Amino acid sequence: MAATRAFIAIEVEETILERLRAVQQHLRTAGAQVTWVREEGMHLTLKFLGDIEDDHLPEITRLLQCATSTVTPFPFSVAHIGGFPTIAHPRVLWAGISDGAGTLCALADAVAKQLASCGFPREDRSFTPHITLGRVKSLTDNHLPELLRAHAEDIYGEMSVSEIHLMRSELSPAGARYTILQVIPLDSGCRI
């Protein structure tokens, strides 16, 4: 039976992506060994599903329609650069969300709740909305924490969310390739 590596995400507007690419360029000067996320990989992930059987895609789409049925389109702001677990010792570099973060968390929770009903486990940790910029391999003799602090208060733009996407991720030596499988509009109703 065919399987798809899938996740649920919100696509980021091009003007914000351009600003995030510029930040990546500046952070590259720090001297850290980082695997940088390519532009097509910069999205706001609501839920990673892993490998799913293709015949489950219609049910997942229906559950996502239920999760978004009462969420009206809303804005959020991309702001602040940081690192998980901390700026001093980052393993993941990210751009955060300021205005609209609460609504994004509620949307991610609704998605997780609906998908849990068909066997997708909920995360142990709470959802933190962010856009991954890179994954740190080594921090030896570099200025990355200093540069992250320099961008800690930056604002990269505001965008409006009117839909979420069920995405396919295909891994290859050249990097992951992403394809939109389904577009689920917000506030479109639940088809039971």
Summarize pLDDT for 169-187 with one digit per residue, the tens: 998 777 788 999 999 999 8
CA–CA separation, 83 and 63 (whole Å):
32
Active-site hit among 26, 80, 89, 130: 130
* 56 catalytically annotated: no
Average predicted confidence (pLDDT) for the chain: 92
**Domain 3-185 belongs in CATH node 3.90.1140.10:** yes
Give per-residue burial for 57-82: e unless 16+ CB within 10 Å, then b: beebbbbbbbbbbebeebebbbbbbb
Active-site hit among 43, 56, 80, 165: 43
Contacts of 48 (CB under 8 A, 6+ apart): 7
pLDDT of residue 188: 76
